[in-house]
Amino acid sequence: MRASKPAIRGARIAAFAAVLSILTGAGFSGRGSSLPGKNEEPERPYAEIAESLRVEGLKSEGAFAFLERLTRLAPARLTGSPEFASAQELMRREMEGLGLKSWREPVRVEHWVRGKIQQAEIIGAGAAPQALRIAALGLSVPTPEAGITAPLIEIRSFEDLSAAGSRVRGAIVFYNHPMNPSSQDTFASYGEAAPYRTRGASEAAKLGAAAVLVRSLTLRRDGFPHTGMVDYDPDVPRIPAAAVATLDAEALSRRLRAEPGLRLRLHLDCRNLEPADSSNLVGQIEGTEKPGEIVLLGAHLDAWDLGTGAHDDGAGCAQCLEAVRLIRALGLKPKRTIRIVLYPNEEFGASAGRDYARAPRRSSERHVAAIESDRGGFLPLEFGLGSAETFERLKKWEPLLRPAGIRRVGPGGGGGDIGPLGGQGTALLAFIPDAQRYFDHHHSANDVLSAVHPRELELGAVVMAVMAVVIAEEGI
C-alpha cells in the first residue's frame, strides 16, 4: 500500500509525452518517468502508475487471496443453485470490504440440477460391465429410471453421422471427435470440436438416437470428464447427453473395434427445473468527474460443479476485485466510474450479459469500455480489441502494459457477457492469457485452486487495472 494518494488528473499531458517517448524508443524501462508536467496539478505519469500497480500486485498476490476464499467458501456455483446465491453474497461482502458501492440487478437463469446418478457401463461379451468416467452435460434431460441400454455407435464427425443413417435409430451415439492438438491456438481447436457437445444430441436425435456420449473437450488424455452445456434444438426430441473422459473414450473406441456388438447402459438423474431468480452483482468506484461514463470489468461467477471453477471463471472474478483493490491501494480516483459486474448463467448461454445490456438503468449510463476476463488465470499475453477503431485508439497504451508481460494489443476482443454492450458503442476488450493449459482444467474436477499460479493470476489483475485506470481517466 502506498502512502501518497495524489489525484491522477494532472497526469494526462505528461503521460502522453511519456508514451510518445516510449514509442520513439527513448528508454522505457517500466519505471516511473520524471518528465515535468505542463499544468499545475501534481504530476504522476501513467508509466509510474502502471509500475506501482504491478509492484503492489506482485508483492501482495491479492488476486490469489480472493480466489482462495472464493473456491474454499463457495466451491460450488452452478447457476440457479442455492450455492450460487451464497457465492454471490460472499462476493458482495468482498466488494463491501473494498469500499465499493454495490447492488444486484435481477435476472432469470436456467436451473439445472446434476442429480446423484451419472453412470455409464459397457456391456460386452463375457466380462462384468465396465464403468466409464462420465458426467452429465449441462441442461441434459435424464434417462428413464432404469437407464438406457442400447447398442453403441462410434461417430467421428457429423459426416460420419449422416453416413450412419438408419443405424443410428435406437442407438447411443458416441461422438469420439478429439480436439485438434496441432494448432497453437487451443481456443480454435475447442471451437472446432465443441459443436459435438453442443449440437450433437439434437443432430443424433433427428436420426432417432436414444442418447449421446461425447468425448471430453480437452487435449489431454486423462480420467476427467469435462462437462459443458448442451444446446438442444427446440424442434427435436431432447435425449440424454454425457461427457466421457478422453482415456475412457479411447479405451471404449478400441473395445468397439474388437467387439462391434457392445452395448452401453447410461443412467442420469439430472433435471431441468423452472428458470430461477438470480441477479447480476454490480460494484463500483464512482468517477470523480464523469460518473455516468463507465469502464466495466466483467467476469462470470457461475461455474461448473465438478471442480471449484478456479480458472473458469473464479480467476476472472478474482482479477476484477483485485484490479479495483489495486486502484484503491494506490489512492487513484479516476474521472470515470470503474465498475465490476459478476454475471450468473454464463455457462448456460450468457443470458445475464444480455439482460445487463438492456436493463432500463443503462439508459442513463454510457459504457465507454468493457473488459472481460474469462479465459483462465494464466500468464497474460494480449488484450484483444473488438474493433479496428478501438485498436487505433488504445494501441498507444501498449507500452504501459509491457512491464507486466503483455506482448500485444491487437484486434480480436469481446467476450460472451460483455458482447451485448458492443451495439451501444462500447469498446470491447478481451483479456487474453496463455491457453496451453486451459482445457486441461476447463469444466472438470481438475479446475481447482492448485492449478492456478499466484503470479500468473496477479499479472492479469495488474494489466486489467492499468487498462481500466487509463481508460477511466482518458476515455477512448
Nearer to a copy of itself, 193 or 379 (CB): 379
Q: Which of 28, 46, 48, 54 binds a copy of itself (CB under 8 A)?
A: 54
Task: Select the span of 192-200, 286-294, 450-458, 468-476 touching a copy of itself (CB under 8 A).
Answer: 450-458
Q: Is 474 helix (H, G, I), strand (E, B) or coil?
A: helix
Give the whole-angstrom CA distance, residue 447 versus residue 427: 30
Nearer to a copy of itself, 18 or 381 (CB): 381
Nearer to a copy of itself, 30 or 475 (CB): 30
What residues between 59 and 118 interact with a copy of itself by CB under 8 A? 59, 61
- Transcribe 317-368 into DSSP letters: HHHHHHHHHHHHHTT---SEEEEEEEES-GGGT-HHHHHHHH-GGGGG-EEE
Q: Which of 307, 353, 405, 413 binds a copy of itself (CB under 8 A)?
A: 405
Nearer to a copy of itself, 161 or 401 (CB): 401
* Radius of gyration, CA atoms only, the chain: 24
Q: Supply φ then ψ for residue 299, to 5 degrees.
A: -155, 165
Q: Is 184 in the site for a copy of itself (CB under 8 A)?
A: yes
Give the whole-angstrom CA distance, residue 461 versus residue 320: 7
Q: Is 450 in the site for a copy of itself (CB under 8 A)?
A: no
Nearer to a copy of itself, 12 or 437 (CB): 437
Q: Which of 163, 183, 237, 277 binds a copy of itself (CB under 8 A)?
A: 183
Give the whole-angstrom CA distance, residue 439 versus residue 459: 20
Give the whole-angstrom CA distance, residue 192 versus residue 178: 10
Contact flags string 149-178 toward a copy of itself, x per CB under 8 A = ------------------------------
- Please count the residues of the chain: 476
Q: Which of 24, 182, 364, 450 binds a copy of itself (CB under 8 A)?
A: 182
Give the whole-angstrom CA distance, residue 343 versus residue 356: 9
Q: Which of 21, 223, 455, 476 binds a copy of itself (CB under 8 A)?
A: 455
Q: Which of 418, 430, 459, 471 binds a copy of itself (CB under 8 A)?
A: 459
Nearer to a copy of itself, 39 or 183 (CB): 183
Q: Is 408 in the site for a copy of itself (CB under 8 A)?
A: yes
Number of CB atoms found within 10 A of residue 354's CB: 18
Nearer to a copy of itself, 109 or 179 (CB): 179
Q: How far is the CB of 55 from a copy of itself (least distance, A)?
A: 4
Q: Is 381 in the site for a copy of itself (CB under 8 A)?
A: yes
Contact (Cβ atoms closer than 8 angstroms) between residue 175 and residue 213: yes
Give the whole-angstrom CA distance, residue 146 versus residue 265: 9
Give Cα separations from 358 to 255, 284, 348, 422, 459 (angstroms): 52, 19, 19, 12, 32
Q: Which of 58, 65, 76, 247 binds a copy of itself (CB under 8 A)?
A: 58
Task: Select the span of 243-251, 320-328, 387-395, 454-462 touching a copy of itself (CB under 8 A).
Answer: 454-462
What residues between 302 and 361 interact with a copy of itself by CB under 8 A? none
- Transcribe 164-211 into DSSP letters: HGGGGTTSEEEE--PPPTTSS-HHHHHHHHHHHHHTHHHHHHHTT-SE
Contact (Cβ atoms closer than 8 angstroms) between residue 309 and residue 303: yes
Give the whole-angstrom CA distance, residue 303 versus residue 306: 9
Q: Which amino acid is at 91?
A: M
Q: Which of 187, 434, 475, 476 binds a copy of itself (CB under 8 A)?
A: 434
Q: Which of 12, 437, 441, 443 binds a copy of itself (CB under 8 A)?
A: 437
State the catalytic residue, choosing from 56, 346, 398, 456: 346
Q: How far is the CB of 30 from a copy of itself (least distance, A)?
A: 8
Instruction: With CA atoms as reference, report the closest residue to 339 among 384, 285, 411.
Output: 285
Q: Is 395 in the site for a copy of itself (CB under 8 A)?
A: no
Nearer to a copy of itself, 55 or 251 (CB): 55
> Is 203 an annotated catalytic residue?
no
Give Cα separations from 341 to 247, 323, 476 (angstroms): 38, 13, 20
List contacts with a copy of itself (CB under 8 A): 30, 54-55, 58-59, 61, 181-184, 219, 379, 381, 403-405, 407-408, 434, 436-437, 453, 455-456, 459
Q: Which residues are catalytic?
A: 346
